[in-house]
């Protein structure tokens, strides 16, 4: 284990400098002055080139910005900056001096954001891109791999990270600091936002989760095993200090940066909220390998899915009573086993647990994904050897598939009320965090209320579908569908459909069930107690899933 250390360094080798406040202020003013924002870049590129850039395709944006460089001064300035940092195209120092007159090329060199190229040009050392979200709409964000997506007013920030595979040659460096990616955006979208006195961003990377936590947490602790990752996070926080309401002279008042492995940096502490996009990628381990042999942004250094298992077991121990943790993860699925068997074995019986599997892939698909992610396909021999190592590693444990999804944990103040493992692979509403939070609240409500005495309403987003053969007297299939959140579909029995149709808040659940029993009951095989208990269970499931709500 790596010992925990408070990280305050402003000048870490091979990372942007955060100890030059005047230059940071000048850079922020210059970027804002030329409209280097999510919306500004989208407007400059146009829909087609912007969409291509979101797929890591640079050519359309290169064509558009080449023309824009010869336009009016503000447009030319924005085009030059886009070409420098988003497209990794070297720029003349004189062009950048004109585009960014406060910080100028010399300031960018001092900050470690660019390095000399040829013929009076400089080239990007990092990716520095706009990122934004609507802070007034519950802190939920939308985004994509290339740009981030501004959902309205709220925060307009800039995020520095290492250049991605499509911006640089060769295999990624092993201490690569990941930028705005699909996984980080997914975690932003699924996190249920609520006020927290203390929050933890475990494995902060370049700081994306910390940005969002700062809008609803009084203090955030951000940890990582990588000095470079913490240096990027510190740079990003101080570059955006105004938007994030931070005092650059007293960063520790609201953010504590800690270096260390997993939960080592926060031993003995408790948090109301923990979020984590951990290095969950399952990677073949080799005898004698060191941390320098691993991609720190994705490889936890443990065999198989042990790092996710360890976090699921340990995270409830750092939660305050009622505190929650949300993270992403992979899990191995042995041949012939249900996907949930391993996750169920990790979950403490004393914690509330909710796993949602969003995807399941074969060992071959998994190997291809992560070898491509690090650009290892560019070296044919390395690719072949690494691919074979993945397959041998999975075969050694009898792994037939790998699951990916999101995990929700809580340290309950009383008895646990939620233990759920489900697979949802179809498209869901994004951001979905508020809907996950509401689902947990409904589980809590069911645990303490007499459902039979409750009055219920059909949720506003719920619709009913009936399917029947032409000429048939009754429908053969009745479905309830949700238009929001997890967008579930529920197959209804005739009696449950009748119950739902009566949920207008006037009658209690018990009264509606009694009326249905009087209408449908009778016959030699009728068992009223079984009917009432079965229907009450089905109604509870509809409340739990959000089709029916307390009036």
pLDDT tens across 348-404, in order? 999 999 999 999 999 999 999 988 876 666 778 888 998 999 999 999 999 999 999
Average pLDDT, the chain: 92
Check: CB of residue 459 under 8 Å from CB of residue 482. yes
In sequence order, what are the residues at sequence separation of 6 or more whose Cβ sits closer than 8 angstroms to the Cβ of residue 440? 192, 324, 352, 354, 408, 410, 418
Long-range CB contact pairs, 71-76, < 8 A, 24+ = 73/98, 74/34, 74/35, 75/44
Could you tell me if residue 409 is left (phi over 0), alpha (psi between -120 and 50 degrees) or otherwise beta? beta
Structural contact between residues 139 and 216, judged by C-beta atoms closer than 8 angstroms: yes
| Segment holding 533, helix H or strand E | helix 528-544
Least confident residue range of 9-18, 84-93, 149-158: 149-158
Q: Tokens 């291809």 sit at which residue?
A: 368
**DSSP per residue, 448-497:** HS-GGG-EEEE-TTEEEEEE--TT-SS-SEEEEEESSTT--EEEE-HHHH
The candidate with the shortest Cα–Cα distance to 371, out of 290, 279, 284, 309, is 284
**In whole angstroms, what is the distance from residue 64 CA to residue 69 CA?**
9
pTM of the model as a whole: 0.92
Confidence of residue 154 (pLDDT cuts 50, 70, 90): low
- Average pLDDT rounded to a whole number, residues 77-81: 98
- Span of 95-104, 439-448, 464-473 with lowest mean pLDDT: 464-473
DSSP assignment, residue 280? B
Query: Where does residue 242 fall: left (phi above 0), alpha (psi -120 to 50 degrees), or beta otherwise?
Result: alpha
Q: Supply 359's token pair.
A: 């995807």
Within 10 angstroms of residue 542's Cβ, the number of other Cβ atoms is 23
d(CA 62, CA 472): 61
**In angstroms, rounded to a whole number, what is the distance separating the alpha carbons of residues 478 and 51?**
40
Phi, psi of 74 (to 5 degrees): -65, -40
Q: How far apart are CA 102 and CA 313, in angstroms?
A: 50
Residue 485 near residue 435 (C-beta atoms within 8 A): yes
Distance, in Å, from the CA atom of 191 to the CA atom of 409, rounded to the nearest integer, reads 12
What percentage of the chain exceeds 70 in pLDDT?
A: 93
C-alpha dihedral (535, 540, 544, 550), degrees to nearest 10: 110
Look up residue 470 and give its two tokens. Answer: 């032409």
CATH class of the domain whose range is 132-447: alpha beta
The answer to whether 132-447 and 449-550 have equal CATH topology is no
Which residues, including other chains, have CB under 8 Å from residue 140's CB and lie 6 or more apart?
133, 134, 151, 188, 189, 193, 431, 433, 434
What's the Cα-to-Cα distance from 467 to each of 227, 300, 470, 471, rounded to whole Å? 60, 50, 9, 12
pLDDT range class, residue 109, cuts 50, 70, 90: very high
Chain CA centroid to CA 195, Å: 19
- What CATH code would you report for 449-550? 3.90.930
* Torsion sign, CA atoms 193, 199, 201, 206: positive
What tens digit of pLDDT does each residue of 115-131 get? 999 999 999 999 999 99
- Checking if the pLDDT of 289 tops 70, the result is no
CA distances (Å), origin 14, targets 74, 232, 294, 298, 411:
31, 10, 18, 20, 40
Pick the closest to residue 354 from 418, 414, 274, 403 (CA basis). Answer: 418
* Domain regions of the chain by residue span: 8-125, 132-447, 449-550
- Is there a contact between 402 and 333 (Cβ–Cβ < 8 Å)? yes
């Amino acid at each position: 284990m790596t010992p925990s250390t408070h990280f305050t360094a402003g000048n870490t080798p091979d990372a942007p400098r955060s100890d030059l406040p005047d230059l940071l202020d000048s850079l922020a003013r210059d970027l804002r002055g030329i409209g280097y924002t999510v919306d500004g870049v989208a407007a400059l590129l146009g829909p087609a080139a912007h969409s291509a850039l979101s797929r890591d395709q640079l050519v359309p944006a290169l064509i558009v910005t080449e023309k824009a460089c010869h336009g009016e001064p503000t447009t030319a300035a924005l085009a030059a900056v886009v070409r420098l940092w988003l497209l990794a195209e070297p720029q003349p120092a004189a062009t950048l001096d004109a585009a960014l007159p406060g910080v100028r090329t010399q300031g960018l060199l001092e900050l470690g954001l660019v390095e000399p190229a040829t013929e009076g040009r400089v080239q990007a050392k990092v990716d520095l891109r706009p990122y934004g979200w609507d802070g007034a709409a519950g802190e939920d964000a939308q985004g994509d791999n290339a740009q981030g997506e501004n959902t309205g007013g709220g925060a307009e920030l800039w995020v520095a990270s290492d250049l991605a595979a499509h911006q640089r040659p060769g295999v990624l460096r092993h201490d690569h600091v990941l930028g705005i990616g699909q996984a980080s955006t997914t975690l932003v979208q699924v996190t249920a936002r609520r006020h927290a006195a203390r929050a933890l961003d475990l494995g902060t990377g370049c700081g994306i989760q910390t940005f969002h936590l700062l809008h609803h947490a009084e203090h955030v602790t951000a940890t990582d095993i990588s000095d470079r990752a913490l240096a990027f996070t510190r740079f990003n926080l101080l570059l955006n200090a105004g938007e994030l309401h931070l005092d650059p002279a007293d960063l520790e008042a609201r953010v504590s940066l800690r270096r260390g492995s997993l939960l080592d940096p926060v031993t003995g502490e408790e948090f109301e909220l923990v979020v984590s996009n951990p290095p969950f990628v399952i990677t073949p381990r080799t005898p004698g390998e060191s941390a320098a042999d691993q991609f720190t942004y994705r490889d936890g250094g443990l065999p198989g899915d042990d790092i996710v298992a360890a976090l699921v077991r340990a995270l409830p121990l750092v939660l305050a009573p009622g505190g929650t943790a949300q993270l992403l993860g992979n899990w191995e699925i042995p041949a012939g086993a249900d996907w949930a068997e391993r996750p169920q074995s990790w979950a403490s019986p004393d914690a509330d647990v909710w796993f949602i599997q969003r995807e399941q892939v074969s060992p071959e698909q998994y190997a291809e994904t992560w070898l491509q992610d690090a650009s290892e396909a560019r070296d044919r021999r390395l690719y072949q050897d690494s691919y074979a190592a993945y397959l041998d590693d999975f075969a050694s444990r009898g792994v037939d598939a790998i699951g990916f999804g999101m995990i929700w944990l809580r340290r309950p103040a009383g008895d646990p009320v939620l233990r759920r493992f489900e697979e949802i692979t179809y498209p869901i509403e994004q951001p979905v965090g508020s809907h996950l939070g509401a689902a947990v609240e409904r589980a809590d409500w069911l645990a303490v209320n007499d459902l039979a005495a409750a009055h219920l309403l059909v949720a506003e987003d719920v619709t009913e579908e009936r399917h029947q053969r032409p000429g048939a007297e009754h429908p053969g299939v009745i479905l309830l569908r949700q238009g929001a959140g997890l967008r579930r579909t529920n197959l209804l029995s005739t009696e449950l459909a009748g119950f739902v149709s009566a949920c207008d808040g006037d009658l209690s659940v018990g009264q509606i069930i009694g009326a249905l029993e009087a209408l449908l009951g009778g016959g030699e095989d009728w068992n009223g107690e079984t009917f009432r208990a079965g229907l009450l269970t089905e109604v509870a499931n509809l409340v739990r899933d959000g089709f029916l709500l307390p009036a």
